[in-house]
Amino acid sequence: MARALCGAEPRNLPYHEAVRTVPRRRLLAALLLAVAAPMASAALAQVGQDPNWRPRIWVGGGRFYRTPPKWAARENFDGSWNFCRGFYYSNRREAGGSGWDTDFPGADNNFSVRLGELTNVAVRLDASGQPDYVVVRLTDPLLSRCTMLHLEDAGTARFTDEEVEALRAYLLKGGFMTVDDFWGTDAWDQWADEIGRVLPPSAYPIFDIPLDHPIMHTLYDVKEIEQVSSIQFWGRWGSVSERGADSARVNFRGINDEKGRLMVVMAHNTDIPDTWEREGENKEYFDRFSPNGYAVGVNIVLYALTH
């Protein structure tokens, strides 16, 4: 269904080659080629003073304003793939997070661009040629049209009873959800309580996803879920554990349905979406984190589309 333009990694290499060196040689090369085109277009646009030009890759934006939701509408769905971000209300704040819109819209836009470049997945584009990512309320009937739902900073979420019922129905009817960028014990405990309301752990237990699970090898051979901090934390402290000893270990966990299909993937104590959002802002951060981050994201999407 999907084919990497740069080729899938061989599966007989050690981790430092299969997940770092090979993405550097192939995945990183493909990403750099894709980055070069917007840069060249930018130069031409500046010369031609084209008022309608804008880069496909979202860069920057700071942390001092919030982008309003781009609410899903019926016309956003035509059978192509959309990045669907779930909207929820937070009952508290976590350092480095902003609730439902953490890493929005840069992660949503940039991952969609790269998914379309690195695979044959038909990514939905808007009239301007940009990815048609959307924000969807958990109770919106349009949620059923999302092949994948993405939540961030979910350790601050409090679902209403209606959201619990709607999210359960979505997942048990074949939906797929990713949860990322939440850190430490308090965030995990709150999220575990909320997802436990949706999928009672007696019937749908949370488990650690093993390295030999198919989701780790859907296209790229990912041998480890790398810990990634936000670019701000990394730039200031030069480390990747945002809660110190309380977030020293990455937890990559899942929930299966009754047939053994993985329907929820949770990356705790890491910030994979920042490797997408911030790819154009710092070369060292890009080189170190983005190839692995895109490999994990692409694998997850392809698994969701094929299971």
Rounded to whole angstroms, the Cα distance separating 34 from 24 reads: 14
> Which 3-state string (H, E, C) describes 231-269?
HHHHHHHCCCCCCHHHHCCCEEEEEECCCCCEEEEEEEC
Radius of gyration of the chain (CA): 19
Classify residue 5: in a domain, yes or no.
no
Classify residue 79: in a domain, yes or no.
yes
Tens-level pLDDT at each residue, the chain (307 residues): 333 333 333 333 222 233 333 344 455 555 544 443 343 333 333 334 455 545 688 887 555 567 899 999 999 999 999 999 999 999 999 999 999 999 999 999 999 999 999 999 999 999 999 999 999 999 999 999 999 999 999 999 999 999 999 999 999 999 999 999 999 999 999 999 999 999 999 999 999 999 999 999 999 999 999 999 999 999 999 999 999 999 999 999 999 999 999 999 999 999 999 999 999 999 999 999 999 999 999 999 999 999 9
Asked if 293 and 220 count as a contact pair (C-beta separation under 8 A), the reply is: no
Classify residue 8: in a domain, yes or no.
no
**Strands (DSSP E) along the chain, which ranges?**
84-87, 134-137, 149-152, 177-182, 206-208, 251-256, 262-268
Domain CATH code at residue 79:
3.40.50.12140
Structural domain count of the chain: 1
Angle of helix 283-306 relative to helix 106-118, nearest 10 degrees, comes to 70
Classify residue 297: in a domain, yes or no.
yes
Asked if 11 and 18 count as a contact pair (C-beta separation under 8 A), the reply is: yes
Q: For 83-132, what is each residue's pLDDT tens digit? A: 999 999 999 999 999 999 999 999 999 999 999 999 999 999 999 999 99
Asked if 191 and 266 count as a contact pair (C-beta separation under 8 A), the reply is: yes
The identity of residue 165, as a single letter, is: E
Classify residue 268: in a domain, yes or no.
yes
DSSP-based three-state secondary structure for 185? helix
| Beta carbons within 8 Å of 113's beta carbon, 6+ residues apart | 34, 56, 57, 123, 131
Range of the domain at 265: 15-306
